Amino acid sequence: MTNYLINIIGPTAIGKTSLSIKVARHFNTEIISADSRQFFREMKIGTAVPEKHELEAARHHFIQHISIGDNYSVGDFERDANKKLEELFKSHDLVVMVGGSGLYIKAVTEGLDNFPEVDPQIRKNLNKRLEEDGIDWLQQKLFVLDPDYYKTADVQNPHRLIRALEICIETGKPFSSFLDQEKKERDFKTISIGLTADRELIYERINKRVDLMIENGLVEEARALYSKRELNALNTVGYKELFQYFDGGIDLETVISEIKKNTRRFAKRQLTWFRKDENIKWFKYDEDPQVIFDHIEEQINT
């Protein structure tokens, strides 16, 4: 019997959580989260972790399962998620995976790409340039060495920038040339469902979500984490802007505007990544769930 992974993707704030729960309940199954920001138990409000009633509506895995101080890589997630899938497929023919972290989704469904070893001194040099010249230098360097990857990369994340640049420098080849290598064989089939909307509506939903996060206590959550701001997990939209606010010299209204702007940019990069995948079936964010259920059943029965 064939096992199926229902992969629900789309930009942030589009409604993936709600749909994933409906799909899980309809097919009487469980959910794996592939949202790398929601892994951390200390970051609830700023990562839009599902509410208590949502977590109770369908069983979720990989939600707030590690701490911000833990060293947890995409490779670790690939291992853990596929182990969990193997376990879940013993009692379910179908499992749901949901998230907007393209690399983490790819790790589960296709496996990670293989990269060459890099001289540690290159990383040290890049980290030094980050300290001395800031993230702008890394961004400009990547734009020159690998403009294709620059278009889809999270260019606000220095860890990702340094990882790409060290490969470029070590090999003399673009980082993107090492991506999309031969896929690993999986013992399940993937059915990918994408949620989308007009850009203006996506941006409107993002702006409303950020306002709601502020109302729900994001400033206080970020303040409690301020002393650990150097951790890589906290170098993410919503927190890094508030850390600048705590440093002084910038008012809260401006910070909230920056969070909205950077989240909109993040959503744009998500869509750029996902639209490269021709196997995704796209639906409007407010599509009748029954239409999506029917599509899934049609794919299974084809």
Binding residue per annotation — 12?
yes
Q: Give the separation between CA 228 and CA 110, rounded to whole angstroms.
A: 34
DSSP assigned state of 49: P
Please check if 11 is assigned to a binding site: yes
The reply to whether 59 and 151 lie within a common domain is: no
Clarify whether residues 146 and 188 are in a common domain.
no
Number of domain units in the chain: 2
Beta bridge mates, 52: none
pLDDT for 54-77, tens place per residue? 999 999 999 999 999 998 888 899
**166 token code pair:** 């060290």
**Same domain as 226, residue 101:** yes
Alpha-carbon gap, residue 175 to 182, rounded angstroms: 16
Residue 132's domain is classified under what CATH number? Answer: 1.10.20.140
**Bridge partner list, 66:** 40
Do 262 and 227 lie in one domain? The reply is yes
Q: How far are the Cα atoms of 65, 101, 284 from residue 21, in angstroms, in the given order? A: 19, 18, 17
Are both 169 and 194 inside the same structural domain?
Answer: no
Tell the residue number behind the tokens 């961004």, with chain if given. Answer: 139
Range of the domain at 9: 4-113+181-301
Kindly state whether residues 188 and 172 are assigned to the same domain: no
Half-sphere exposure of 135 (CA within 13 A, CB side): 9
Say yes or no: 144 and 273 in one domain.
no
Judge whether 292 is annotated as a binding position. Answer: no
Same domain, 34 and 49: yes
The pLDDT value given to residue 154: 81
> Do 223 and 277 fall within a single domain?
yes
Q: Indicate the residue among 158, 178, 198 that finishes a domain.
A: 178
Q: Are residues 215 and 270 in the same domain?
A: yes
Q: Does the annotation place 17 within a ligand binding site? A: yes
Which parts of the chain have pLDDT scores under 70? 181-182
pLDDT averaged over every residue in the chain: 94
Residue 8 · residue 21 · CB < 8 Å: no
Separation between Cα atoms, residue 200 and residue 209, nearest integer Å: 14
CB-based contacts of 58: which residues, under 8 Å, 6+ apart? 20, 21, 24, 25, 29, 30, 31, 96
Is 14 marked as a binding-site residue? yes
Max alpha carbon distance in the chain (Å)? Answer: 61
State residue 1's pLDDT score: 82
* 173 and 187 belong to one structural domain: no
Instruction: Give the separation between CA 22 and CA 129, rounded to whole angstroms.
Output: 47
CATH of the domain at 9: 3.40.50.300
Are 3 and 87 within 8 A, CB to CB?
no
- The answer to whether 158 is annotated as binding is no
Question: Is there a contact between 296 and 287 (Cβ–Cβ < 8 Å)?
Answer: no
- The answer to whether the annotation marks 193 as part of a ligand binding site is no
Instruction: Using alpha carbons, select from 80, 9, 3 the residue that is nearest to residue 292.
Output: 9
How many of the other CB atoms lie within 10 Å of CB of 38? 24
Same domain, 162 and 288: no
> Between β-strands 31-33 and 60-61, what pairing exists: parallel, antiparallel or unpaired?
parallel
pLDDT score recorded for residue 155 = 86
Q: Residue 138 contacts by C-beta under 8 Å, 6 or more apart in sequence? A: 126, 129, 130, 158, 161, 162, 165
